[in-house]
Amino acid sequence: MLTAEVLDAIGGLTAHVKAYAATLPSIVHLKAVPSGVKPAVGAIDSYELIVSRAQGQSAGTPYKALNESLVCSLEAFEQGNLIGTVQALLAVIDQLERMQRDEEIEVGRVDEKRLTEYRVVLRKVLPGNQPELDGAGGSL
């Protein structure tokens, strides 16, 4: 497994998260939707396929350390837990950066740029990242 293949997987998962986040209403009243809004079954199946493929390809490589976080992201995605999904994927990106820093893996400039782009996309998906909320609560 190569770094580019790992990043392809993360990119696919990020795309699923972004698409799912776009389907969520801006404000969810928990009394109206107590169980939350879950992703479509097809999206979950596709997400699971990407995670399974990454797990299978990472066996015997330094990338196998990412499997636990990838499974956590899948479990959160299945439940419709957007924040948990994003946190797990950000943990994967953090692990990749640590592995690069510790020289366990090689990450080229193009791949570094992809990592940064995925981090930005995932952070933008998180609730509370709307520009109109910048500075909100600053006086507290």
Structural domain containing residue 49 = 3-24+37-126
**Residue of 43, 7, 50 lying closest to 24 (CA atoms):** 43
- Of 61, 123, 132, which Cα lies nearest the Cα of 90? 123
Q: What's this model's pTM, rounded to 2 decimal places?
A: 0.83
Enter the DSSP assignment of 102. T
21-25, 60-64, 103-107, 117-121: the lowest-pLDDT one: 21-25
- Residue 50 falls within a domain, yes or no? yes
139: in domain: no
- Whether 136 maps to a domain, the answer reads no
Domains in the chain: how many in total? 1
pLDDT in tens, 73-126: 999 999 999 999 999 999 999 999 999 999 999 889 999 999 999 999 999 988
Here the tokens at position 24 are 């969520």
